[in-house]
Amino acid sequence: MALRVQKYGGTSVADIEHINHVADRVQKAHDKGDKLVVVLSAMSGVTDSLISLAKQASKRPDKRELDALLATGEQTTAALLAMILKSRGYKAKSFLGFQAGIHTDKTSGKARILDINGQNIQSALKEGNIAVVAGFQGADEDGTITTLGRGGSDTSAVAIASSLKADVCEIFTDVDGVYTTDPRICSNARKINKISYEEMLEMAILGAKVLQIRSVEFAKKYNVPIHVRSSFSEEEGTMVVNESSDMESVVVSGITCDMNEARITLKKVPDQPGVSAKIFTPLAEAEICVDMIIQNTRSGGETDLTFTVPKDDFEQAKEISHKVAKNLGAVEILTAEEIAKVSVIGLGMKSHSGVAATMFQALASENINIRLISTSEIRISCIILAKYAELAVRTLHTAFGLDPEK
């Protein structure tokens, strides 16, 4: 008997027909004797509709109340699945985030899970219930409902799997696994059978939308095996697991593309100790995540400082940057939204040389200019113009031998 945590995304629970299909899969696993915790997202499109309603009510909806509103999407699907299972003669019990013991910090809209008290779920399982949990949500120490951000149901599922010491956390979605790149961009993309937590984390950070970043962080920290698979087939998907020696034989595992970045440059900032802190502290206080940072020193004690932020935070980041620039005496601020970040990722980069050269040569062969570059031990990222993003992905996929063999 295995303890499985299964998570179903929005497209998997898009309507009653789809939720009935989820119930079929849950039944099948239950009938094999497995204990089941099922974590659900809201129906596809519901969260966006709720945000639209909130914006009709207020130009800038209060974040606390917005969380209370958005949490109802997952509450709906959890209750509906439990109803369907009960109507079929199975014992089932639905839980909201706080009922499942998910305790978070107080950051509305982007709350982080602090701990999970799985006692209620454990009791339900001991009584023979299928536990159905509303994903994407929890509660802070005051009992206020919080949400975990886009894709937060993945994090809910992995965190619950960790708390319960589940045998596996299955992430059911509308794709049948993790691919070498986005199949919608590159028809030669191939499914990866096994990928390390480190590679998956880089891919999630860099634009792959299969798994939410914090869910992979949780899985890596607590060694939770993740099986990414399709809700609409019985095929095996991709296992996300600890690094193994054979993984380093593949130099590059995947190519990602992130169109959700914007660039800000402060021109002729004083090149003095503490200036960078004065620029980035207000951004941090506004809970804006800065990604790439490049500093180019000029003569005469001045420097240009460039950084990227998510497009959702661009207007606020620009406003803050203008205030900071004025105080620092910066000469000019330049911004760009029509950019993309393309990245190559692979454990094999630790032990193989020439990856950067191959990437730069491939982009140059298509006359694609690189605006910014950043690296890690297993990743190289380049900022380019957005109009070249898809071409860049296909070119790099071929350059690193990821196309299927003919």
Q: DSSP string of 188-229?
A: T--EESEEEHHHHHHHHHTT--SS-HHHHHHHHHHT--EEEE
Give the C-alpha separation, 289 to 310, whole Å.
Answer: 7
Contact 138, 103 (CB under 8 A): yes
Contact 374, 261 (CB under 8 A): no
- Give residue-wise pLDDT tens across range 336-361: 999 999 999 998 888 788 999 999 99
What lies within 8 Å, CB to CB, of 48 at 6+ separation is: none
Give the C-alpha separation, 71 to 139, whole Å.
Answer: 11
- Give residue-wise pLDDT tens across range 142-159: 999 999 988 899 999 999
What number of other Cβ atoms are within 10 A of residue 167's Cβ?
15
The radius of gyration of the chain's CA atoms, rounded to the nearest angstrom, is: 23
Which run of H or of E encompasses 356? helix 355-365
Contact 93, 131 (CB under 8 A): yes
Residue 334: φ, ψ to 5°:
-110, 140
End-to-end CA distance of the chain: 43
User: What pLDDT score was predicted for residue 1?
Assistant: 77
Contact 286, 316 (CB under 8 A): yes
User: What pLDDT score was predicted for residue 383?
Assistant: 94
Residue 233: φ, ψ to 5°:
-150, 170
Q: What CA–CA distances, in Å, run from 390 to 66, 130, 255, 364, 395?
A: 35, 43, 11, 15, 9
User: What pLDDT score was predicted for residue 118?
Assistant: 92
**pTM (two decimals):** 0.82
Give the C-alpha separation, 162 to 11, whole Å.
Answer: 25
Encode the chain (406 residues) as per-residue pLDDT tens digits. Answer: 799 999 999 999 999 999 999 999 999 999 999 999 999 999 999 999 999 999 999 988 999 999 999 999 999 999 999 999 999 999 999 999 999 999 999 999 989 999 999 999 999 999 999 999 999 999 999 999 999 988 899 999 999 999 999 999 999 988 889 999 998 899 999 999 999 999 999 888 887 778 888 899 989 999 999 999 998 888 899 999 887 766 666 789 999 999 999 999 999 888 888 889 999 999 999 989 898 998 887 777 888 899 999 998 999 999 999 999 888 888 889 999 999 999 999 988 887 889 999 999 999 999 999 999 989 889 999 999 999 999 999 999 999 999 987 6
Contact 94, 134 (CB under 8 A): yes
User: What pLDDT score was predicted for residue 245?
Assistant: 62
Instruction: List the one residue out of 124, 110, 111 whose CA is nearest residue 78.
Output: 124
Contact 105, 114 (CB under 8 A): yes
Range list of β-strands (E), 106-208: 113-116, 130-134, 137-139, 145-147, 168-173, 178-179, 191-192, 194-196
What is the residue whose two structure tokens read 């880089």? Answer: 202
